[in-house]
Amino acid sequence: MKNSHPKKERTFVAIKPDGIQRSLIGEIISRFERVGLKLVATKMLVPTAEFVEAHYTLDPEWRRITGEKNIKSYVDRGEKPWTTDPYEVTERVLKNLKDYMTSGPVIAMVWEGAHVVELVRKLVGSTEPRKSDVGTIRGDFVLDSYMMGDTDGRAIRNLIHASGSPDEAEKEIKHWFTEKELINYRLVQEEILYDVNLDGILE
Ligand code: GDP
Ligand code: MG
């Protein structure tokens, strides 16, 4: 994917079980469509716990980073973390994530377009819905917080997963889809979004 045109960038997005249960499939897809992105793969499935763990640990640093972030979120709200070992924290986060992600169907998708990784993260909003801006998908449709998730011993319900970087996207797309499931095709609107000349509009 490197060295290709920015319009060819791809990202992985999953509508999590709460997004399906909230009947937000159409709403979420329409937000990506209306900005000009192209859907190049999709399927509905109930992932296994092993598959979910493999997804979150594609980045070998994820356990440490997530544990440290979690501990910091306790400290930031003036609470004492239950342990100072980031790996121990992440084991608990991961167990909750597996329960959450295997609780029902999810919709896996690959979206393509200019700067898509950054653009989709912007449209989705920050990971913790409490912090997501109004106008983002999470800011508009969900009200969860780490504090509430930690209090109730569950993962935060934030409707969607979206890759955090082009490298992460490449790994996640490979994890969820085979090469054959990714469809290369042209959308008519790409002529207006990307073509250098707008010849042929006037009759
Ligand atoms: P993303 O890249 O925005 O999806 O977020 P991360 O990769 O950092 O985290 C993935 C998931 O781990 C989130 O959706 C949360 O469920 C969970 N998680 C991450 N950080 C924290 C945290 O500080 N506290 C809690 N309780 N869960 C977290
Ligand atoms: Mg992430």
104-128: pLDDT as tens digits = 999 999 999 999 999 999 999 999 9
Spatial distance between the Cα atoms of 122 and 164, rounded to a whole number of angstroms = 11
As a whole number, mean pLDDT of residues 124-147 equals 97
Ligand 1 centroid distance, CA of 21 (Å): 20
Q: Whole-angstrom Cα distance, residue 94 to residue 154?
A: 10
Which of 177, 200, 158 shows the shortest CA–CA distance to 11? 177
Lowest mean pLDDT among 98-107, 122-131, 193-202: 193-202
- pLDDT band with cut points at 50, 70 and 90 for residue 73: confident
| Overall average pLDDT of the 177-182 stretch | 98
Place of tokens 């295997």: 102
Q: Is the pLDDT of residue 130 over 80?
A: yes
Q: Is pLDDT at 129 greater than 90 in this prediction?
A: yes
Is a pLDDT exceeding 70 seen at residue 100? yes
State residue 4's pLDDT score. 87
Whether residue 97 is predicted with pLDDT greater than 70 in this model: the reply is yes
Atom nearest to 146 CA in ligand 1: 26
Give me the count of residues in the chain: 203
Distance (Å, whole) CA 163 – CA 43: 17
CB atoms near residue 18 (< 10 Å): 21
One-letter amino acid for residue 154 of the chain: R
Which residues form ligand 1's pocket by a CB distance below 6 Å? 66, 69-70, 73, 93, 97, 127, 146, 149-150, 155-156, 158, 161, 164
Please say if the pLDDT value at position 138 is more than 80: yes
| Mean pLDDT to the nearest integer, 94-109 | 98
Question: What percentage of the chain exceeds 70 in pLDDT?
Answer: 99
Which residue from 93, 94, 175 has its CB within 8 A of the most atoms of ligand 1, so it is best to mutate?
Answer: 93
pLDDT at 196: 87
- In the reported structure, the alpha carbon of residue 181 is separated from the centroid of ligand 2 by a whole-number distance in angstroms of 23
Q: How high is the pLDDT of residue 2?
A: 55
Active-site pick, 5, 115, 161, 175? 161
Backbone torsions φ then ψ of 108, nearest 5 degrees = -95, 140
Closest CA to 159 of 11, 10, 25, 12: 25
Q: How far is the CA of 52 from the centre of ligand 2 (A)?
A: 13
Rounded mean pLDDT, 17-21? 98
161 assigned to active site: yes
